[in-house]
Amino acid sequence: MRGLLVVNPRATTTSARVTDVIVNALSHELDLQVTMTTHRGHGFELGRAARAQGLDIVITLGGDGVVNEVVNGMLEEGLGDNVPILATVPGGSGNVFARALGIPVDAVEATGEIMEAIRANRTRTIGLGRVNGRWFTSNAGVGLDAEIITAMEDQRSAGRTASPTRYLVTTLRQYFARTDRKNPALTLTSAKGVNEGVFAVVVQNTAPWTYFGSWPIDPCPQASFDTGLDVFALRDLGLFAAARAARRMLARSTAGSTKESIVVSHDLEAFTITCSRPMPMQVDGESTPEVTEAVFVSVPGALRVIAVQ
């Protein structure tokens, strides 16, 4: 079985020592190539090349960002039987995709699970989301959460390490001091209707949405790789409304929409977000260029992966 290990050496919890252990272990199971990413977009190039070379499996070591790049590279030419199987070893700060597949957070233990699945030829086919032509595995968003991601990326570029505390401080600073909480810019349009006056939209392809350390944060706990996309939209960013939304996320509540401040939709095939001014967007925890329109679609049965659950 021919495979490629894509390593992001700058990922939060990835180290040279752990990488060596993983490479040695996987080399006993696979005819393995190993490549370290060197720049943003490198994972995309490697995923595209892996498919062109007819490799059987691509394994990522890093966070959700490198997973997203590799998936977009592998699926650049669309779906097909020649798309490699994807496996991921957690090495980032969130590792939402890996956790949703039941992969252990510990990188060495995760590698053991992946090796066992390879021996048993155990895979799972999952659905993915697309926004403006870009694939995503776990989540995407327009508005406040994308602003927070952009602020975090600025801090990481300045040499600061991502951590739950830093995310919390950044979120509070963005909410209280930087985001526009008075003039909503988004309109959400789906088969369930039109919702104007929206400040932020969170889109989930799986649950949970993200983690605060080990604690799951989950606006849409019914989201699943086996269904369409779930949406959580905020129409009010006042303190009371924000506190209610935060409580719902932390409790992983399945309560429905409040209509006035929170709009929740489950299992959507497609929807569109239009913006009255350019707005930030994030895809799998990575910021993208600002958008004035975001067209989302759910693509079932898009990718074979190694999964524990």
Q: Does 131 map to a domain?
A: no
pLDDT at 258: 61
User: 105 and 202 share a domain?
Assistant: no
Do 99 and 232 reside in the same domain of the chain?
no
Asked if residue 128 belongs to a domain, the reply is no
Quickly state the pLDDT bin for 103 (edges 50, 70, 90): very high
Task: Verify that 110 and 149 share a domain, yes or no.
Answer: no
Mean pLDDT of 280-290: 96
Tell me, yes or no, whether 127 lies in a domain: no
Domain boundary among the residues 66, 90, 122 is at 122
Bond from prior residue into 164 cis (ω within 30 degrees of 0): no
Residues 6+ away with beta carbon under 8 Å from 106: 90
One-character DSSP codes across the chain:
-EEEEEE-TTSTT--HHHHHHHHHHHHTTSEEEEEE--STTHHHHHHHHHHHTT-SEEEEEE-HHHHHHHHHHHTTT---TTSPEEEEEE-SS--HHHHHTT--SSHHHHHHHHHHHHHHT--EEEEEEEETTEEESSEEEESHHHHHHHHHHHHHHTTPPP-HHHHHHHHHHIIIIIS-SSS--EEEEETTEEEEEESEEEEESSS-SEEETTEEE-S-TT--TTS-EEEEEES--SHHHHHHHHHHHHHT------SSSEEEEEEESEEEEEEEEEEEEEETTEEEEEEEEEEEEEEEEEEEE----
- Same domain? For 146 and 272 the reply is yes
Percent of the chain with pLDDT strictly greater than 70: 98
Read off the pLDDT of residues 43-63 as tens digits, 9 standing for 90 and up.
Answer: 999 999 999 999 999 999 999
Reported as a single tens digit per residue, the pLDDT across 104-126 is 999 999 999 999 999 999 999 99
Give the CATH number, domain containing residue 237: 2.60.200.40
pLDDT for res 92: 86
- pLDDT, position 156: 79
Residues 56 and 166 in one domain: no
**109 and 193 within one domain:** no
Q: Is residue 309 part of a domain?
A: no
How does residue 257 score in pLDDT terms, banded at 50, 70 and 90? Answer: low
pLDDT at position 162 over 80: no
Q: Which of 95, 122, 149 is the last residue of a domain?
A: 122
pLDDT of residue 104: 94
Interval 130-147 mean pLDDT: 97
Q: Give me the mean pLDDT over the 153-162 stretch.
A: 82
- Are residues 117 and 149 both part of a single domain? no
Do residues 148 and 217 touch, judged by C-beta distance below 8 A?
Answer: no
Are the C-beta atoms of 134 and 72 separated by less than 8 Å? Answer: yes
Residue 80 belongs to domain spanning: 2-122
Q: How many CA atoms lie within 13 A of 115 on its CB side?
A: 17
Residue 175's contacts (CB-CB under 8 Å, 6 or more residues apart) are: 144, 181, 237, 242
